Structure 1
Amino acid sequence: MVQLRVILADDHPFVLLGIRAALERRAGVTIVGEAATPRSLIKLLQSTPCDVLVTDLTMPEASGAVEDGLDLVRRIRCAWPSLRIVVMTALTNAAILRAIVSDVVVSALSKMETTDELWQAIEASGRGEVYVGRSIIEALARPRDEASDPPPVSRLSRRQAEVIRMVVRGQSISEIAVALGCHRRTVSRQKREAMAKLGVTNDPGLFAYIRAHGVYES
């Protein structure tokens, strides 16, 4: 039996441990490496041949030297075109999910899926096929009326949009408060409300959303 060489990437050690434990019970797969940051993943790919990469979408790099999210996936796709990629994500924003599955050679599934479905995605990827998890298919199948339901970015107030723009440019809450002449709590509240409108729950999700839409990037 041909052994699929798999690299795992996730910034949560317990997630890596759980996936490794689940996959090691399967015949036909060998875990050849693990990474917890974009930088370490790139370095590992440069030195370790593998057939399938199973990676989280959001793995923030503290130094910012290597971007995560869709930019990281695209960089890997460009550098290793024959590598099959299975993206796992906890994000539920349909625009981000749509951006992931628009790449016809990248498999994708929610972190809410079972390990059996992860294995199906890995097997399909090893055969050169694309696998999209049921939760993602369901999220993308939900009707959307673009005429009456404008893109979420357009729903932000002027100040909310300004705060998000400054966050994306790397400014801290304190720096934004000084620049706008308001209290840090006010900035935090405006950021939190803006993220709720965008359908994201954390900073990695926010940055992934911004990259998927190409807004506030100049």
Structure 2
Amino acid sequence: MANTRIILADDHPFVLLGVRSALDAHVGVSVVGEAITPTLLIELLRSTPCDVLVTDLSMPEPSGAVEDGLSLVRRIRDEWPLLRIVVMTMLTNAAILRAVVSDGTVSALSKTESMDQLWQAIEASRSGGTYLGRSINKALAESWKEEQEPPPVARLSRLQAEVVKLFVSGQSISEIAAALGCHRRTVSRQKREAMVKLGVTNGPGLFSYVRAHGIPSFESHI
């Protein structure tokens, strides 16, 4: 059986180094390329044949030319439907995770999982199956139990909902402060508190949440 060709993508070089080192210990796989931005990943996929992509979910693009997160996964699924994808992420938001694995072809695990679980995900993927890490399974299972509760966005304050809506529309912190007539520190604090409530850890994660959960939910608060 030919070696399984793997491409790695993460915006943290040390993560790439660690994953490559772990995979080098296994027979039957070859890392054929690495990328640190969505743009470089798309270019690499177009030039380098591979069987499995191991990619971070939140991988900001400095130029903004290519979106990361759920949009990136969907784009890759559309352009390379036969490519198997293993997503590694620090996100714990069940709505985003469910959207990522919804079509039953994408494996996912937390970056806190062991390298043994990553190898299990790769083995499942190259055999045509999928794998969900323990942390991902736990987050999804807990979300099912909470489905009768109001969605997380319903727990945002009016100001937090307004800040989130303006932020995902493309406005900067300074622009939002000017529009709402408050200090930049107030806007930053409200955005940070909203992210905590929604279970996301950074700007790209917030964009991904809104794409997965829907803008109208935010509009109902303003």
Write out aligned runs for 1:150-189 (5 A). Answer: 150-189=150-189
SS of 1:20's partner is: helix
Instruction: Give the corresponding residue for 2:141.
Output: 141
| Bigger shift: residues 169-178 or 75-84 | 169-178
| Bigger shift: residues 42-51 or 158-167 | 158-167
Residue 193 of structure 1, CA deviation: 1.5
Structure 2: gaps spanning 5 or more residues: none
| Bigger shift: residues 19-28 or 208-217 | 208-217
Write out aligned runs for 1:85-104 (5 A). Answer: 85-104=85-104
Identity of aligned residues (%): 72
Aligned length: 217
The question of whether the paired residues in 1 share the 8 Å contact of 2:110 and 2:133 is answered with yes
SS of 2:113's partner is: coil
Distance in 2 between residues matched to 1:146 and 1:68, nearest whole Å: 27
SS of 1:61's partner is: coil
TM-score normalised according to structure 2 size: 0.93
SS of 1:22's partner is: helix
TM-score normalised according to structure 1 size: 0.95
Distance in 2 between residues matched to 1:167 and 1:105, nearest whole Å: 32
Distance in 1 between residues matched to 2:126 and 2:52, nearest whole Å: 7
Instruction: Give the corresponding residue for 1:20.
Output: 20
Distance in 1 between residues matched to 2:147 and 2:136, nearest whole Å: 20
Instruction: Give the corresponding residue for 1:29.
Output: 29
Distance in 2 between residues matched to 1:59 and 1:180, nearest whole Å: 30
Residue 2 of structure 1, CA deviation: 2.1
Aligned-CA RMSD value: 1.6
Instruction: Give the corresponding residue for 2:192.
Output: 192
The question of whether the paired residues in 1 share the 8 Å contact of 2:91 and 2:199 is answered with no
Distance in 1 between residues matched to 2:55 and 2:167, nearest whole Å: 25
Structure 1: gaps spanning 5 or more residues: none
Distance in 1 between residues matched to 2:201 and 2:66, nearest whole Å: 22
Residue 121 of structure 1, CA deviation: 0.6
Distance in 1 between residues matched to 2:192 and 2:129, nearest whole Å: 39
